[in-house]
Amino acid sequence: MSTDTQQAKASGSFLLGGDRPVTRLGYGTMQLTGPGVWGDPKDPEEAVRVLRRAVELGVDFIDTADSYGPIVAEQLIKKALHPYADDLVIATKAGFTRSGPGDWRPVGRPEYLRQQAEMSLRHLGLERIDLFQLHRIDPKVPLAEQIGELKLLQEEGKIRHIGLSEVSVDQLEQSRAIAEIASVQNRYNIADRSSEKLLDHSEAHGIAFIPWFPLATGQLAKPGGPLDTLAERHGASPSQLALAWLLRRSPVMLPIPGTASVAHVEDNIAAAGLTLTDEEFAELTAAV
């Protein structure tokens, strides 16, 4: 097997939930749908090629959600990759309803979460979902009921591990009192570190931290900016440097950059081979 097919492996591995190894640099499917994360992609065949190329390059952790499309992203994954390799981990989410482009409404009623888990099993062609994440905590439903239903699904063997998305340290701890939580997924990138406390807390407890919107670089990538300067030094793109910074930031970090382009997925995954020196990491950390 050529090194080209193992690029992502250079990012290292993480034991999800203590028993499911994943390569740390993964792929997120949000951009595989139409505008506003609604409907089919402009080029469905390119979407299939992107998924296959990501896996070919060593990605074995793919993040999706029932609300992407809705349903569209999950069905594209099945079309592109089923039957799945034994080491491929597909993480999906439930907890949002959709009524149009850009419209997201949290629904955490236990019967709804159960229905969506069953639908994701069908749409993905799985017998068990390795990581099933509560897409948002529904403020209208007691947290214990939302997490409790996911725990029941886990006990029934329909999901392997439970994850959360967009939560605080307090919400994570409340959830951990009900069930074991394997991962959290909050917005986090080199320019937006508002979830720093949650990241540190997750690292201390061996919980995977999945940063969504990982490639946002703000003003750091402008000409002459610190990301731009370092990218030139490494012969890399600012996006690659942003991913390299995330991977260096914490051993529990699992970045999932998304794209609808084969060229971009290849560029993103090449970031796994970049190594920042202590000085470079400190320079970028201090730049915000």
Residue type (1 letter), 183: S
Q: Could you give the CA distance from residue 131 to residue 92 in angstroms, rounded to a whole number?
A: 7
**Is 188 one of the catalytic residues?**
no
In this structure, the strands spanning 208-209 and 20-23 are unpaired
Q: Could you give the CA distance from residue 50 to residue 144 in angstroms, rounded to a whole number?
A: 38
* 117: exposed, middle or buried (Cβ count in 10 Å: 0-12, 13-18, 19+): buried
In this structure, the strands spanning 61-63 and 27-28 are parallel
How many Cβ atoms are within 10 Å of 53's Cβ, its own excluded? 18
Beta bridge partners of 253: 209
Beta bridge partners of 184: 164, 209
Contact 89, 62 (CB under 8 A): yes
Beta bridge partners of 21: 15
Question: By C-alpha distance, which of 172, 280, 268 is closest to 220?
Answer: 280
**Which one is catalytic: 27, 68, 84, 188?**
68
Q: Could you give the CA distance from residue 87 to residue 103 in angstroms, rounded to a whole number?
A: 34
Q: Could you give the CA distance from residue 268 to residue 31 in angstroms, rounded to a whole number?
A: 14
Beta strands, E only, the chain: 13-16, 20-23, 27-28, 61-63, 89-94, 96-97, 105-106, 129-134, 159-165, 181-185, 208-209
Active site residues: 68
